[in-house]
Structure 1
Amino acid sequence: MDPIEPPSAPQFPMVTDTTRTSVSLAWSPPEEEGGSVITGYLIEMQKVDQVEWTMCNTTPIKICEYTLTHMPQGAEYKFRVMACNAGGPGEPVEIPGIVKVTEMLDYPDYELDPKYEEGYVVRQGGVIRLSVPIKGKPVPICKWTKEGRDISHRAMIATSDDITELVIKEAHRDDTGTYDLVLENKCGRKAVYINVKVIGRPDAPEGPLEFDDIQARSVRVSWRPPSEDGGSDILGYIVERREVSKVAWYTVDSRVVDTALVVKGLKENVEYHFKITAENKFGVSRSLKSDECVTPKTPLSPPEPPINPPEVMDVTKSTVALSWGRPKDDGGARITGYYVERREVSTENQPGEIDIISVAKDCITIHWLRPECDGGKEILGYWIEFRQAGESAWKKCNKERSKDRQFTMGGLMEATEYEFRILAENETGMSRPRRTAMGIKTKLSLGEAPSLKEDMADVITKLGESGTLTCQIIGRPLPEIRWYRYGKELIQSRKYKMSSDGRNHSLTVATDEQEDEGMYTCRASQ
C-alpha cells in the first residue's frame, strides 16, 4: 500500500471582500491531492508587527472560501491557507500582500447585455424587462428614470447586490423612450441609457374626415395619418361607406396608400357615412368615422357673365337705361337676378417726384410731392413699395395707408441697391405708380475684429449636475464660436450643449463622470 502524502498548496488565493470588521478569502483546490481526498482547509493569520501565525479555524472547512469576523478595524494582517487530507496538512500558500481591515471601495460599474446596445424592441402588450448586472463597493444605489422623469407607476423595480431589474407588464406605446439607470456609491456615479421601442398596431387616422369635389355620383374623402404608426410603416388605409338608412358597411378600397380617395359609384341625393382604418404589419387600428353625413349631388357654380357688354338704350339728366343678353351657362340653377354697378370716370395723376432724404447701412428715407391732379376726389393716402435691384416682384413697405409724404424703410441689407415706387389712392382707386429715378444703395458698415468683453469664470459643480461656462465676445461680422477641452474641439450632443445670442456664448456640460473636470476654451474667428 502506497504511503499517503500531504496535499500540495491550494491555488489562486485572494481577498474577495473586506469590511470594517471582516475579511473574506477564497482559493482553488490544490493541483496534487497526495493520494487521498482533500478533507478540508486550515486558515492562519499573522499580524504585520508579529512573528507568530495564529490559527483561524481549528476544524478544517470543506469549501474554498472563508470569512473572518469581529476583526479590529484598521488592523493589518497576512493570511495563508493549507489543504488537509488523511496524511495531514500540506504546504501553506500565502495570500499576496497585506490586508487591511477596512471597508473595500470600488467605483460603481455595470455589464450591459448586447441585446440592449442597439435598442430593445417589445411588442405592444408584451413585457419590458431590463436586467443590468452591477458591481461596486459598497453596493451602489440604483435609480431608474425615463428621459429624466420618474418611471411609470406600472413599473416594478428589484435590486440585489449584483443585479438591478426593471419590469413593465402589458407594455403600452407610450412606454417607448430612453430609460436611464444611475449607479451611485461613495466612490462615484455612473449612468447607462437603454432605448426601448414598443411596437404594435397604429392609432386611428387623424380627423376630422373632410369631403370636397362633391358630384352627383362621387365624392372626394380625405384624412390625416395616425399620430402614432405603431413603430412600423403604414401599409395603407381601409375606406368603408354606409348609407344612413342601412346598418351594413361596404368596403370601397382595402389598401389606399394616399390620405385621400375619390369614392365613385354613389347614388345621387342619398346620405352616406364613411370610416377610415389604418393598417401596418402588426394589424389594423381603430376606425375614424365621419361626424356628419355627406350627400352626392350635382354641383352648382356661379353663372357665366352676360353674353355681351351692357348697351345704353336711353339717357336723361338723371337716368340711364341699359340692356344685356342672358349668360350662356347658368351654373346649374335658374338665374335669380343681376347686379348692376357703376363708377365715376375720372383721372388721377401719379404722385410727384421722389426725393432721397437720407441713406444708412440698413434704412432709406424718401419724400415725394402730391399728385398734380387728385381725380376729383380727396387723396386718402399713399402706398409705398420696394424691390431689390435686379428683382421683378415689388413688395409692400406699409401695411396701412400712409397719410404722410415721407417714409423710412428699415431692415435693409447693407451695401445693397433698392428701388422704390409710390401709389396714391382716392375713393376711385389707385393711381399709376411713381418710381425713383435710379436705384438707391445702402451704406457699408466697417468690420470689427472679435474681442473679449467679459472673461470666462471658473465653474464648480457637483458630479451628476450640469455646469455652464459663459463668456462675452463681440465682432463684425459675427464671429464663429468654437469650444475646446484640452485642445480637442467639442460638438453639440447630449453631453455638450452650446448656445449664443451673438454676444453672450455658453457651454453646458452634463457631468456624468469625474473625467469631465478640466480646462475648457472658447475661441472666436471670422
Structure 2
Amino acid sequence: MPAKPAPIKKSPAKKAAEKAVEKPAEPAPEAPPAEAPPAEAPPAEAPPAEAAPAEAAPAEAAPAEAAPAEGQAAPAAEPAADAAPVEAAPVEEPPKPPTPPPPPEPTSAPLNLTVEDVNDTSVTLKWKAPETLGDSGLDGYTVEYCKEGASEWVVANAELTEATRLVIPDLTTGDVLNIRVVAVNPGGPSEPAVLAEPVPIRELGERPKVRLPRFLRTRYIRKVGAQINLLIPFGGKPNPVVTWCKDGQPIDTKRVGIRNSDRDSILFIRTSEREDSGVYEMTVKIDSFSDTASLTLQIVDLPGPPDSIKLVDTWGFNAALEWTVPKDSGNTEITGYCIQKADKKTGDWFTVLEHYHRLNATVSDLIMGNSYNFRVFSENKVGVSEDAAITKEVATITKTGIVYQPPEYKEHDFSEAPKFTAPLSDRAATVGYSTKLLCAVRGCPRPKIEWLKNMMVIGDDPKFRQISNLGVCSLEIRKPCSFDGGVYTCRAKNAQGTATVSCKLEVKQVTVVEAEKK
C-alpha cells in the first residue's frame, strides 16, 4: 500500500484567520462628521496564495490573513514553517459620491414699484424686473396687500404672473392699503418691493399736473442783483401738496420765498446772487400720484480778467501777445476778448481788437521808436470785465535805417490809329430840305477830320457845315439840290494812320400831280 502523505500542520495565524471568517466583524463606531469614515475591509476571506509546487509533494498555500475588525488588535502573525511568503492583496478604494449642486438662490427684489392708477374699487400697479435673476431664472410675481393697521397680507393674484403690471380689483372704497410685490423662482421668494406710502382707495377728480410755462423749459438766465418772480400754475383734485427742492435738497427759505395757492406756486428772490443758480424742482402730489417739473436758473455776472498775459515777440511794426482764459467766467461762457494798447509817452489806452475769440493776437501798425504796453479784457453775455490783464514786458519798436526808393513806372503809350466806332449810313434827302450825316471816330493823338464828296475834298463851301466834337463828326448839307447827291466820305488822319468811312446820299425831286397843277 502506498504510504499516506503526512498531514499538513496549520499555523496559528491561519487558524486565527479562519475563526475571523466564521465570526462576523462587529460594526465600526460612527466617525465624527468632520472626519471622513475609514474604509472597512470586506468580511470574506482573502483568496489563498498558491505556493510553488515541490518535486516530492505539493505544499498547500496558506490563505491570506483576514483584516482585523475595527477596534480589535490584530493578532501577531506567526510565520508558517511549511508555506512560502505571501504578498498582501491591494485594497480598492470605493468611488467618491458626486458633489451635489448648490441650492438655487432667490432673485433680488423687483424695482420701481409705483401706482399707475387708482379708483374707488381698484388699484393698478407697475414695476420693473429684478436686477439679479440668478441661474434659476424667474417664475413670476406675487402681489400682496394689507390694510393699514392690520398685520395679515392678502395675496391679490391666485397664480404667479409674468407681467410687470397688475390690477387689484374688488377693493373697498375708503380703505388704505400697503402693497408689496415679491419675485418667485425655484430658490424661493425674493425680498419684497414695498410702496413707500399707503394707497387710499378712492376716486381722483383730477390727477396732479404741473403746467410749466414755455420760457422756463429752457435755461432761465438773469444778472446778479436782478429780482426773480416766477409763477408756475398746476392742476389736480383734490388740492395737491406742493413741495420745492433745489439740486435735490430742500430750499433755503431765507434766500428763496415760496407762495402756494390752490392753482399756482410762486418762486420769489428779491436780490439774486450767483449762489442761487441751480436746478429747481417743483412736485405736486395727491396720495400716491405726483408730477414733477424742473427749471434751471442761472445767475450770471461780469467775468474776471484773463489769468495771465505775456508778450511773445516783437518784430518790425508788430507785437505778438498770448493770454489764458479767466479763472472766473461769471457763471457763463466767455464770448470774446478786448485788446488795447498804450504808448508810454502818453499813457492813453486805445482799443485794437474787440470781440476777439482767440487766445493770441498780433498787434500791427505800431510807431517806430515808441514803446507800448498791452492789456486784455474778458467779455461774456453780461459785459466786459472790470479789470484787465496787463503785460509786464514793454514792446519797443526800434528804428532801422530805411532808404526810400520810389518805384519805377513804365509810361504807357496811348497812341492809337484812327478808328471809326460809328459808320456813316446811306440816306435819302428831299430837295430844299437840309440833312445831316453823322459818324464817330477815336484815335490818339486826336485825328484831323476831312469830308469828301465823290472823293473831292469839301473846302469852306458855305453850303456845307462841318462839326467835330469829342469824336463825333457831322456834316450838315443846307437845302440840297439834285446835284448834291453822291458818295460822301469822312476821313480821319493822325500820325498813327488814316481811316475812312463812306455813305451814299440820294436827293429826290418832289413830283407834283397834274391834277393839282390844273
TM-based fold match above 0.5: no
**Greater strand content:** 1
The structure whose Rg is larger is 2
TM value normalised by structure 1: 0.31
